[in-house]
A = this chain, B = another copy of it.
Amino acid sequence: MKLFDGGRAPNPRRVRVFLAEKGIEVPLVPVDMGALGHKSDEVARRNPLQRLPVLELDDGTVLSESVAICRYFEELQPEPPLMGVGAVGKATVEMWQRRMELNLLMVVAQAFRHIHPAMKEWEIPQIPEWGEANKPKAAEFLALLDRELATREFVAGDAYSIADITGMIAIDFMKPARISVGEDLSNVQRWYAAVSARPSAKA
Contacts and interface: CB of A to CB of B under 8 A. Distances in A.
Interface of A: 48-49, 57, 61, 63-65, 67-69, 71-72, 75-76, 86-88, 90-92, 94-95, 98-99, 103, 125, 127, 129-130, 133, 144, 147-148
B68 A91 contact: yes
B91 A71 contact: yes
Nearest to A83: B71
Instruction: Please give the count of copies of this chain that the complex contains.
Output: 2
Nearest to A145: B48
Nearest to A87: B75
Given A103-B49, A144-B48, A144-B49, A90 B75 contact: yes
B129 A98 contact: no
A68 B100 CA distance: 13
A91 B70 CA distance: 8
A158 B129 CA distance: 43
A71 B84 CA distance: 11
A59 to B, nearest CB: 9
A127 B137 CA distance: 15
A136 B127 CA distance: 15
Most chain-B Cβ atoms within 10 A of its Cβ — which of A67, A86, A130, A144?
Answer: A130
21 contacts: A48-B148, A49-B144, A63-B88, A63-B91, A63-B92, A63-B95, A65-B94, A65-B99, A68-B95, A68-B98, A71-B87, A71-B90, A71-B91, A71-B94, A72-B88, A72-B91, A75-B87, A75-B90, A125-B129, A125-B133, A130-B130
Contacts of A63: 88, 91-92, 95
Contacts of A87: 71-72, 75-76
A47 B56 CA distance: 38
Contacts of A69: 91
